[in-house]
Structure 1
Amino acid sequence: MPHTPAPLAASDVDWTALQNFAALRGQLRVSFGPRCNIACWFCHNEGDVPPPLTRVDRSRQPRPRRLDADGYLTLITALMRAGMKRVYFTGGEPLTSHLARPVLARLPEPGPDVSYTLITNGTRVRTHRSWLAKTQLDKVKVSLHYFSDESLHAIAGTRVGIKAVLDGIETAREIFERVELNTLLQRENAHEVRQILDFALERRMPVQFIELVGTDFNESRASSAVPADAIIAHLRTLTADEHTEVAGVGQGRRVFRIDGVEIDVIHRNLGRHHVGQCGTCPLRSKCVEGLWALRVDHDGGLQPCLLRDDLRLDVMESLADPARLAEVVARHIASFTEGTL
């Protein structure tokens, strides 16, 4: 049964910042934990220590888990009642987590304009298809950063074959009406980007091409990042239907439409959404994202910025009272936008 906490009580909290963020299509990104069955070199693990670093240095471990299934559901529901409408489930790989099913199978009924999206590498979709088909999820976004065993091994350090990923995509298409792809542009897959595009167009799946966001976790291979110029030039040979979007939160994007299929490119040259705290942020010069997601981690933390874990809010003590929980988050986001955290 869907998880439904008690209704939130009225309060004198200023909800403006949180509700404006939601109205601008801000995301609530819910991480089930750091575990993953592959180890992409660029992984930032939603701000936690990613699998590739733990593999080479066992002393570098992610945060311990404190949040259980009921805690996740309380937090998600409280923030949805406070106005959040776009919920994304991430990991690591979310389908490696023992909490994926007890959370996803009990999501609250979505209200108007609410969407639930699962972000996955695709390799576990077939294993979990029977219960996934019964969830409230309305979209699956598969990370397809490779199109051969060779590039999959070079990027993800795994012996899992590309067939497992492609099979996961086809399985997701059998279950869900909307399946999308996302591809990080990099030197290791530059020769396969057009193949990925053709694969998406043949199946009428939207695909997003993304320029690398630099973090401390991936700086050792920053030279692998490539600009979006080549794919943009190619898309312009396929369609004249192009526009740019810079409104709302997050990076600006170029949007192409080919025979009704949307292809977008997250392009750093189009700017980003910075507010409040960003004005004095010491990391602003290398930030290409700004505030676009509230990130919830398995240790009960919520932070408004990938690069600033010092702005992370611990919500564990507030879980027993959903009304207070929503208020605490609203105050935190208000402080962030006012630059007073």
Structure 2
Amino acid sequence: MTAHELHDGFGRGITYLRIAVTDKCNFRCVYCMPEEGVPPRAHGELLSAEEIARFVRLVAPGGISRVRLTGGEPLVSHRIVPLVRELRSIPGIEDISLTTNGALLPRLAPELKDAGLDRVNISLDTLDPEQFSAITRLGRLEQTLGGIDAALRWGFEPVKVNCVVVRRLHQDVCGLARLSVGRPVHVRFIEYMPIGDERTGSTRAHDALDTSGPHCPGGIDVNAWDVSDTVPSLELRERISKEALGLGLGALEPVDEGATPSGAGPARYWRFPGAAGTVGFITAMSNHFCSCCNRMRLTADGAIRPCLFSDAEYSVRDALRAGDDERVLAVYRDAIAHKPQEHEVIAGTERFMSQIGG
């Protein structure tokens, strides 16, 4: 804890900031956005890289030590490398991470590493090439797998692979978990969160927008997803262990707390016997972790969001552009003071996930 770490009304120290750099993406995932992409926004609606860095510079003395860059897809932003470099220069920022679909990592990994990016989370929901193409519309499985290879090759540590498990997709979860056997990859399974409603369409845990309609490519009907599609982590872990035993890998074993990969996330980690990496489970639904939530979110258009599942927002864009640092900090403190103790109901929100920053 820093000497000046800010706490919310429930005693939780706020040390982690997630920043949506953009709401655009080079994929068109059926659970994220329409096939034509998101509606264009005026350049002035979004924070510039300089404004984002200035905000972080202002709030870092209040305890922010970890920053995660998200989107949309943050690597489609031409300003991503200079932004990482600027964030790296801010006193108190100890960890800079990024969530990506991995497609652009083979090209950008060297520059990001040189700029000071510490680690990456790569979204991968299936190892089936046809299902991957159906889900992403514009993506190919080998692109994301190539991104994982690039992240390992350029020394990002740790490299985490995020998979949201949806029961009716019948994903090969054991196959995904086995990515951790031969390489130091940390595969994390996230319980599907049905936070969409009839107004917003189904959404999910990492960086989602809207659907393009009730029936999507490959027979994927995202508007039909509901709470029954959530696979509790205990059930999932038992399923993976059973399949792994049948393959001669051995069952998953708990990882000692001191041996877990670094990061600010709430995953609980396990590992196959002798594996180079780990398998994590994030119990977003079956055992939510509001009591230890340490994060705030900054949207691409400059709003602070204290809770993922609340529409309460506190805009700092105008204050940043007016050069009113005191006003920026006052709004930030007000947002922290209004951080709810927990989310009561997971329901549709006015914004979609990739506008929030996940």
1:221-272 CA distances to partner (integer Å, 9 max, x unpaired)? 324834034431024852342689xxxxx99654324446332211222233
Q: Which amino acid aligns with 2:236?
A: I
Compute the RMSD of aligned alpha carbons.
3.2
CA distance 1:192–1:62, change in 2 (3 Å): farther
Q: 1:330 is paired with a residue of what secondary structure? A: helix
Determine the structure 1 residue equivalent to 2:8.
17
Q: Alpha-carbon deviation of 1:206?
A: 1.2
| Alignment CA distance shift 1:271-1:164 (3 Å) | closer
**Which of the numbers 263, 281, 291 marks the counterpart of 1:265?**
281
Aligned match of 1:327? 330
Letter in 2 for 1:239: L
Contact 2:186 2:279 in 1 (8 A): yes
Residues 97-106 or 86-95, more deviating: 97-106
Structure 2 SS opposite 1:35: coil
TM-score by length of 1: 0.74
Relative to 1, partners in 2 of residues 1:321 and 1:338: Cα closer, same or farther, differing over 3 Å? farther
**Which SS does the other structure have where 2:23 is aligned?**
coil
Shift, 1:335, TM fit: 3.0
Structure 2 counterpart SS, 1:106? helix
Structure 1, unaligned stretches of length 5 or more? 1-12, 44-50, 245-249, 275-289
Q: 2:151 aligns with which of 159, 172, 178?
A: 172
1:157 deviates by 2.3
Cα separation, 2, equivalents of 1:199 and 1:139: 18
Which range moves more in the overlay, 300-309 or 85-94? 300-309
Tell me, yes or no, if the aligned pair for 1:14 and 1:330 is still in contact at 8 Å.
Answer: no
Gapped regions of structure 2 (runs ≥ 5) = 203-222, 243-249, 258-263, 343-358
1:161 aligns with 2:143: no
Measured against aligned partners, the alpha-carbon deviations of 1:148-197 in whole angstroms (never above 9, x if no partner) come to 32121222222x32111111111111113311111111246534211111
1:63 and 1:264 mapped to 2: Cα distance?
A: 37
Cα deviations by residue, 1:77-123 (Å, 9 ceiling, x for unpaired): 22222111221110111011122123122223365682111100000
| 1:285-300 paired onto structure 2 within 5 Å | 293-300=295-302
Q: C-alpha displacement at 1:72, in angstroms?
A: 0.6
Asked if the contact 2:74/2:99 (under 8 Å) is kept, the reply is yes
Choose the corresponding residue for 2:269, options 233, 251, 255: 255
Residue 301 of structure 1 is matched in structure 2 by: 303
- The equivalent of 2:349 in structure 1 is none
Distance 1:231 1:329, change over 3 A: same
Contact 1:28 1:295 in 2 (8 A): yes
Q: Deviations over 1:282-303 (max 9, x none)?
A: xxxxxxxx95532211211111
How far apart are residue 218 of structure 1 and its match? 4.3
CA distance in structure 1 between the partners assigned to 2:25 and 2:174 by the alignment? 27
Q: Does 1:232 align with 2:249?
A: no
Q: Secondary structure at the match of 2:290?
A: coil
Aligned position for 1:285: none
Count how many residue pairs are aligned between Structure 1 and Structure 2: 292
Aligned residues of 2:303 and 2:315 also touching (Cα < 8 A): yes
| Matches of 2:97 and 2:265, distance apart in 1 | 19
Picking from 20, 24, 28, the partner of 1:39 is 28
Q: Partner residue of 1:312?
A: 313
Residues 1:70 and 1:208: Cα distance change in structure 2 (over 3 Å) = same
Instruction: State the alpha-carbon separation in 2 of the partners of residues 252 and 28 from structure 1.
Output: 15
Instruction: Output the amino acid matched with 1:41.
Output: V
Structure 2 CA distance for partners of 1:104 and 1:20, relative to 1, 3 Å: farther
Question: Aligned letter for 1:231?
Answer: L
What is the TM-score when the length of structure 2 is the normalising length? Answer: 0.71
The residue type paired with residue 278 of structure 2 is E
SS at the partner of 1:126? helix
Kindly provide the CA deviation profile for residues 195-235 of structure 1, in whole angstroms up to 9, marking residues without a partner as x.
11111222121121001112224431324834034431024
Percent of residue pairs bearing the same amino acid type: 23
> Is the contact made by 1:185 and 1:210 (CA closer than 8 Å) also made in structure 2?
yes
Q: For 2:82, what is the secondary structure of its paired residue?
A: helix
1:30·1:295 contact (CA, 8 Å) conserved in 2? yes
1:130 Cα deviation (Å)?
Answer: 3.5
- The answer as to 2:103 corresponding to 1:87 is no
Corresponding residue SS for 2:172: helix
In the superposition, relative to structure 1, how do residues 332 and 67 fare at CA in structure 2: closer, same or farther (>3 Å)?
same
Structure 2 match to 1:119: 99
Partner amino acid, structure 2, of 1:208: R
